[in-house]
Amino acid sequence: MSSQVVSQTSYEIPKTQRAVTFAETHGPHTIQTDWPVTQPSELKPGEVLVRVVYSGVCHTDLHAWLGDWPLENKLPLVGGHEGSGYVAFIGPPLEGAEPCTLKVGDAVGIKWLADSCLHCEECGKGFESSCGQAKNSGFSVDGSFQQWAVSWGAHLTPIPAGFPLANAAPILCAGVTVYKALKEAAILKGEVVVIPGAGGGLGHLAVQYAKAMGYRVIAIDSGAEKEKLLASYGVTDFIDYQKGDVVEAVQKLTDGAGAHAAVVVASGSQAYEQALQYLRPHGALVCVGMPPNADIRANVFWTVVKSHRIIGSYVGNRQDAIEALELAAAGKVHTTFTIEPLANLPSVFERMHALTLNGRIVLDLQ
């Protein structure tokens, strides 16, 4: 591993770099050592070259590689959308837009939403991820599993001074997504939120944001390791979904009343069906995890009579990302992660598929 990458006022930009790519869905990964670097002269208006230092690995990267979703990604693809690093070069300004406020050397994050038009109704209302012209890192454009990534100045997230880049990486997708999803639940302090998938990348952050927001947390996942991880954040109401009846267990922990919200971050579909059964009247099911080919089956009569709210929540906007990072930098939320070399990506996917990861794996791109 080469020497540490630091903030500088200018960077010498190489012609080639290390990256992990795949050329076909579910095809082999290639550990590239001479993948081309976009040169400063090639940057288009609004684009910024980022020296990526760390990248988290999200289950979304695995779904993309497996072709789990009814959307096509670019091929060959450099995946990754939880990147943290430094601005290395700023491309020409976009016509009619505010000048880029970033400087070379600024610590920034690359998130799933790489760019959006910022002019349409969705962008205007803060639903930037729903913009018809949205670009997605590591999906429709190359992402953060490379040392030098092209991103977009308007959507890069500034990382608070002094907050370690490795800790910041998982906040840029997992953190912002769960923080936003908890806002969408719109429940009150002291109310109960259930988090199925609590031991995974999104889940381990969700339980902490939920506590920081003043909610009572019931965590659902499986295995002693995940239970231990969650207990380390002070979450003691843990239900193992592979042992016994989850719905009964939630009812028991809520004295028969049910939960005010479920923020489902599990990548399996069973968790959705269960959530509708343990929500109390006016409870919110916030859908975050995206298992392949899954439907939510809600009985219309009971949805009406119980006034259940079923809400899809898709990452977060620029401000959500800033707030999620602020809470983490203030020490209210801790990312639990293991740093591994970039070339381990295929093995990380294997372990993620086997559901044996606790928290996040962060890849080192130095």
Point out which residues bind ligand 8ID (CB under 6 A): 58-60, 63, 173-174, 177, 196-197, 199-203, 220-222, 241, 265-268, 270-271, 288-290, 313-315, 352, 355, 357
Report yes or no: 255 and 233 within 8 Å, Cβ to Cβ. no
Task: Report the 10 Å Cβ neighbour count for 119.
Answer: 12
Question: Residues 86, 87, 88, CA angle at the centre, nearest 5°?
Answer: 105
Nearer to ligand 8ID, 38 or 358 (CB): 358
Residue type, 180: K
- Using CB atoms within 10 A of its CB, is residue 102 exposed (0-12), middle (13-18) or buried (19+)? middle
Task: Report the 10 Å Cβ neighbour count for 11.
Answer: 18
Question: Binding residues for Zn ion, how many (CB under 5 A)?
Answer: 3
How far is Cα 312 from Cα 133, in angstroms, rounded to an integer? 20
**According to the binding rule CB under 5 A, does residue 144 interact with Zn ion?**
no
Report yes or no: 325 and 171 within 8 Å, Cβ to Cβ. yes
Print the binding letters for residues 47-86 with Zn ion: x by CB under 5 A, - otherwise: -----------x-x--------------------------
Whole-number Cα distances in Å, 108 to 134, 180, 321, 330: 19, 20, 11, 17
Nearer to ligand 8ID, 46 or 170 (CB): 170
**According to the binding rule CB under 5 A, does residue 173 interact with Zn ion?**
yes
| Residues numbered 221-260 forming contacts with Zn ion, rule: CB under 5 A | none
* DSSP code string of 184-196: HH---TT-EEEEE
Q: Where are the alpha helices (DSSP H) in 160-278?
A: 165-168, 174-185, 201-212, 224-231, 246-253, 270-278
Nearer to Zn ion, 60 or 358 (CB): 60
The one of ligand 8ID, Zn ion, none whose footprint includes residue 175, by CB under 5 to 8 A per kind, is none
State in angstroms the smallest separation of the CB of 313 from Zn ion: 13
The one of Zn ion, ligand 8ID, none whose footprint includes residue 357, by CB under 5 to 8 A per kind, is ligand 8ID
Nearer to ligand 8ID, 44 or 252 (CB): 252
State in angstroms the smallest separation of the CB of 291 from ligand 8ID: 6
State in angstroms the smallest separation of the CB of 292 from ligand 8ID: 9
The one of ligand 8ID, Zn ion, none whose footprint includes residue 137, by CB under 5 to 8 A per kind, is none
Smallest CA-to-CA distance from 154 within 93, 112, 79 is with 93
Peptide bond into 76 cis (omega under 30): yes
**According to the binding rule CB under 5 A, does residue 176 interact with Zn ion?**
no
**According to the binding rule CB under 5 A, does residue 288 interact with Zn ion?**
no
Report yes or no: 137 and 111 within 8 Å, Cβ to Cβ. yes
State in angstroms the smallest separation of the CB of 334 from ligand 8ID: 16
In this chain, which stretch among 21-29, 167-175, 264-272, 331-339 interacts with Zn ion, using CB under 5 A? Answer: 167-175
Nearer to ligand 8ID, 217 or 290 (CB): 290
Residue numbers at the binding site for Zn ion (CB under 5 A)? 58, 60, 173
